[in-house]
Structure 1
Amino acid sequence: MAHLPLEGLVVLDFSTLLPGPLATLMLAEAGAEVIKVEKPQGDDMRHFPPQLGETSAPFAVLNAGKRSIALDLKNPDQRAALRPLVERADILVEQFRPGVMAKLGLGYEALKVINPRLVYCSITGFGQEGPRAQEAGHDLNYAAVAGLLSLSPGTTRSPTVPPMLAADIGGGSLPAVLNILLALRRRDLTGEGMHLDIAMSDAMFTFAWYGLAQGHATGRFPGAGENVLAGGSPRYGLYATRDGRFLAVGALEQKFWDTFCGALDLPEALRDDRRDPAATRAAITERIAAQDADEWRRRLTPLDCCCTVVASLDEAVRDPHFTARGLMGATAATPDGSRIPLAAVPIDPQLRRARDEQRPVPALKPASQ
C-alpha cells in the first residue's frame, strides 16, 4: 500500500472518553503512531459497558491500533519518563481543564522548550481563557449554552435530547483533527509548532449558522421550532406513520415539494405552505399516519423526492449501500480474539489504514515496557 499521509508522525494522547480519543483514532488511521498516556487504573472508558469479553466495547472502537502506557502524572519520577517521548513527538493531544497540564509541568510553554516543533492541541469545553473556562460540562451543556438547543428543544412535557454528540465530535474531535493538520502544514513552512485551543462550545455556533444569519440580518433570532431546518417548515421534518415509525421529509426545493404533495394527493390550497403552514403540516401528518412505513417507502422511493423512512441502527448497518462502502469493514481486535467494527471515521479509504489491517486494542502497560 502507498505511504499514508501521517506515516512517521508520533502522537502523545493524554485525552480520555470521546473527543480526544476519536481525534487521535483518525490520526492513527491516517498512519500516525499514537501513544496513549493513561492513569495507572486506565482511561475511564475502559470500564464503560457493554463488555466484549473482558474489554469495554466503547473503549475498543475508539482506541484500537494505538499503544497505551500507564503513568501517574502526579509522580515526578514517572513524569520524567515522558521526556524521551516528548522529544520525538510531533503532536500532543490533551483534554484536561485549563491549567492542569501546566501545573504538572507539561504545559505548552514547558514542552516547547524541549520540542519547539510540537503541535500541542488542548480540547476543552469552553477554551483556555474566558469567564467560563473552568466550568464543568458535557456535550448537552455546550449545545445549551451556545443557544443551539433552543432551536429545537421539544416541548415542556417532552424535551428533546439530541441523539448525536454534536459538541464532543463536531466541536471537539473534528476541529482538533482539522487544526492539527493545518498546524502541521504551518510547521512545514515555519519549522515551529504551536498551541491549539479547541473549545467544544465554539463550534456549536457553527451548527447554528442559519439561525445566526437570520438573526443578524433581521434583528430577530429564531425561537423554538421557527428555523426552517429545525421544525419551522412542513417541508422539512418528521411525520409518524401508522405503524409507529417515522418518515423523514426533506422536500425543501419546489420540484421535490410538488412531487411529494402529488404523492400525498394534498389539496391544492395547502400546497402553498406559506399561506397556512400549520394547516399544511396537519394535513400531511394525517395522511402519513394513515399508512405504514413500508407503504410510504414503496410509494415515495421511486419518486426521488427527499423522503425516507427513518431506519433503526440495526437496519442502517445492514443497508446494502453502507455495506458496499465498507463503513464497518475496519475492526478492533480484543485480547481474547473477539472483533468489533471500529468507530466510523470520515477519512477517504485511500488515506487510511487498509480495512483488513490488524488493529489490536491496546493493553495498559507501564511506561518502562
Structure 2
Amino acid sequence: MALVGIRVIELAGLAPAPFCGMVLSDFGARVIRVDRTKVAMAMDSQARGKQSVAINLKKPQGVAVLRRLCIQSDVVIEPFRQGVMEKLGLGPRELLLENPRLIYARLTGFGQSGPCAASAGHDINFLAMSGLLSMLGRSSDKPYAPLNLVADFAGGGLMCALGIVMALLERSRSGKGQVVDASMVEGAAYLGSFMWKSRSLGLWNRPRGQNLLDSGAPFYDTYRTADGEHVAVGALEPQFYSQLLQGLGLDPSTLPPQMSVSDWPQLRQVFTERFATKTREEWVRVFEGTDACVTPVLSLDEVDRHPHNRERGSFLQDSQGVESPRPAPVLSRTPATPSPGRDPFVGEHTRDVLQEFGYGPEEVEGLLAAGVVECGKARARL
C-alpha cells in the first residue's frame, strides 16, 4: 500500500480527525490513536485499522509518554483548540526540535491564527464562515447545511490528509518535517473554488435556489416517483435534455425553451407530474442505456445491491458485518487494503505499543499501576 512504513499518532477527537486517520490507515499507514483514560468507550466510528493507547495527560508522566510516541513517529494529527498542546509542552516547536522530520498536522475549525482561532464551532459554523452556506438551500428558504459533510469531512479531514501526504512527499526531498495548518473554514472554501471562479459566467447571479446547479433548474433536481421513492435528474446539456424529454414522453414543441429561466417553475411542475406516474424502478428501466442523466436516489441500504456498485466492489463489510464505502481513489499498483477487523477498544493496544516504543515490561506495569496509562480489554457481547 502507498503509505506502508508511515507511523501516525492520532490524538482522539471527533469526526474530522478520525476520518483523516482512517484515510491514512486505509492506504497503509500505521495509525495509533491516543485516547484519554477513564473513558468507557471511544466516540471514533472511523477507527478502521487503528490501534488504541490510553494515556492520562493530566499526569507529567503521561505527557512524557506521549512525547516519546510523537518524536518516534512520522505524523501527529492534533485536533485540539489553539494552545492546548503548547500548554503540555508538546507543540510543534518543541516536537520538531526533537524530531525535525515530523509532520505535525493541526486540524481545527478556524485555523491557528486570527480572531476566531480559539473559538468553538461545528461544521455548520465553519461552512457559514466559508461563504458556501449562503449558497445552499431552496429558493425563498433559509440556508441549509448538507449534513456535516462539507466542512468536517471534505474541508477538514480529507484536506488534512492531503496536506499530510504532500508534506511527506516534500520530506522525501528535503528530509524536513513541517506543520500542516488545516482550517475547516478554509478547506471548505477551497472546495468551493468553482463557485468563486465561475461567478463571471453567470452561474450564480440569481438568488439562492434559482440558479442552474442549486435546484433552480428543473432539469437538475430530484423528483418523487409513484412509489414514494426519488430519482435524480442532471440533464444539463441540450443533447441530454432531449433524451430526458423523450424518456418522459414529452413533446419539446409544447414546452418552453430549456434555458427560459422565467418558465422554469412551469417546467418543474410538468416534470413533477410526469415522474409521479411511474415507480422509481420503472423510470430506471425507461432511462437505462440512455444519456438522459437520470439515476435512482439510493438509500444506504441499497447502494451495495446496485449492479454498478456491486461489480466494482464499491462497498465492503468488516468482520462484524458492518458495511461502509471502499477507500477511494483506486490505485492500480498500490491499492488501499482496509482492515476487516473491528474497531479497537480504548487502550486495547497500550502494552504492545509502549513496548514497541522502547518501554520495558516492568516500566509498562509501573505506568499502569500509577494510572498514567490504561490497558483496555475486549468486553464480552451479551
What's the TM-score once normalised by structure 1's chain length?
0.85
Q: What is the CA–CA distance in structure 2 between the aligned matches of 1:285 and 1:301, rounded to whole Å?
A: 20
Q: What is the CA–CA distance in structure 2 between the aligned matches of 1:92 and 1:118, rounded to whole Å?
A: 8
Larger deviation, residues 254-263 vs 114-123:
254-263
Q: What is the CA–CA distance in structure 2 between the aligned matches of 1:215 and 1:131, rounded to whole Å?
A: 29
Aligned to 1:53: none
Aligned to 1:154: 138
Aligned to 1:320: 307
Counting only pairs closer than 5 Å after superposition, residues 40-55 of structure 1 correspond to structure 2 as: 40-42=37-39, 46=42
Aligned to 1:74: 58
Aligned to 2:240: 256
Specify whether residues 138 and 82 from structure 1 end up closer, same or farther in structure 2 by C-alpha distance, changes over 3 A only: same
Aligned to 1:230: 214
Q: Is the 8 A contact 2:303 2:309 kept in 1?
A: yes
Alignment partner of 1:363 is 2:360: no
Structure 1: unaligned runs, 5 residues or longer: 48-58
What's the TM-score once normalised by structure 2's chain length?
0.82
Q: How many residues are paired up? A: 347
2:31 partner amino acid: V
Aligned to 1:137: 121
Alignment partner of 1:281 is 2:281: no
SS of residue matched to 2:217: coil
Aligned to 1:16: 13
Counting only pairs closer than 5 Å after superposition, residues 1-369 of structure 1 correspond to structure 2 as: 4-42=1-39, 46=42, 59-60=44-45, 62-154=46-138, 160-163=144-147, 165-215=149-199, 221-264=205-248, 265-270=250-255, 272-275=257-260, 276-329=263-316, 331=318, 333=319, 338-341=320-323, 344-348=326-330, 350-354=333-337, 358-365=340-347, 366=350, 368=364
Q: What is the CA–CA distance in structure 1 between the aligned matches of 2:151 and 2:335, rounded to whole Å?
A: 25
Which segments of structure 1 move beyond 6 Å, counting only runs of 4 or more? 155-159, 217-220
Structure 2: unaligned runs, 5 residues or longer: 355-363, 365-374, 376-382
Q: What is the CA–CA distance in structure 2 between the aligned matches of 1:147 and 1:31, rounded to whole Å?
A: 35
Q: Is the 8 A contact 2:314 2:325 kept in 1?
A: no
Percent of counterpart pairs with the same letter?
34
Larger deviation, residues 358-367 vs 188-197:
358-367
Q: What is the CA–CA distance in structure 2 between the aligned matches of 1:219 and 1:243, rounded to whole Å?
A: 34
Q: What is the CA–CA distance in structure 2 between the aligned matches of 1:279 and 1:86, rounded to whole Å?
A: 62
2:161 partner amino acid: V
Backbone CA RMSD of aligned residues: 2.6
Larger deviation, residues 190-199 vs 306-315:
306-315
Q: Is the 8 A contact 2:327 2:336 kept in 1?
A: no
2:103 partner amino acid: V
Deviation at 1:252, TM superposition (A): 0.8
Q: What is the CA–CA distance in structure 1 between the aligned matches of 2:247 and 2:236, rounded to whole Å?
A: 15
